[in-house]
Amino acid sequence: MKKLFILLILISCAPSKDKSTMETKKDESFWKEKLSPAQYHVLREKGTERPFTGLFFNHFEKGDYACAGCGQKLFTSTAKFESSCGWPSFYEKSIPNAIEERMDRSYGMNRTEVICSKCEGHLGHVFNDGPKPNGLRYCINSAALIFFPDTINK
Ligand code: FE
């Protein structure tokens, strides 16, 4: 009995798996079921939606934008600006560790891909032609985002 008790304590004290690792390791069938075809194409196949077609390119309500894959908060509306490029554009991410960058040499171009740090979903690219204060333009596919309106400070 005492051995069983000790065993139970050891099991309950074992480190739980890191949630972010678990999100990343979801297999493609999980994502196909969870996401719409457009979300899946962008987030899991690194697709790009056609410009001026997404839900948020011309959307300027106050609120937060999160990853459509895992729900991690990525951007706030205060950093969104009208870039005329046809995709939602932000000059900064809302949390430093929310977005990772990767070199993207596809299609004969040198671009910096941005992905969600939690689920590794493809979001879009970041360019150096954004406005002040930092000159960045996070060019993000609407299909990679879900929006949570700020109902308090509307
Ligand atoms: Fe994510």
Separation of alpha carbons 40 and 91, rounded Å: 25
How much is the pLDDT for 17? 45
Catalytic residues: 139
DSSP 39-87: HHHHHHH---PPTT-SSSTT---SEEEEETTT--EEEEGGGEE--SSSS
Residues 120, 32 contacting (CB under 8 angstroms): no
- Whether pTM > 0.85 for this model: the answer is no
Neighbours of ion ligand 1 (CB under 5 A): 67, 69-70, 72, 116, 118-119, 121
How much is the pLDDT for 53? 95
- Residue with the larger pLDDT of the pair 134 and 38: 38
Separation of alpha carbons 49 and 16, rounded Å: 37
Q: Is 123 helix (H, G, I), strand (E, B) or coil?
A: strand
CA of 87 to the centre of ligand 1 (A): 19
CA of 46 to the centre of ligand 1 (A): 13
Separation of alpha carbons 69 and 120, rounded Å: 9
Dihedral over Cα of 106, 112, 116, 120: its sign: positive
User: Band of the pLDDT at 85, cuts 50, 70, 90?
Assistant: very high
Mean pLDDT of 89-93: 96
pLDDT, mean over the chain: 87
CATH number 3.40.50.720 is the correct assignment for the domain at 28-149 = no
User: Band of the pLDDT at 154, cuts 50, 70, 90?
Assistant: low
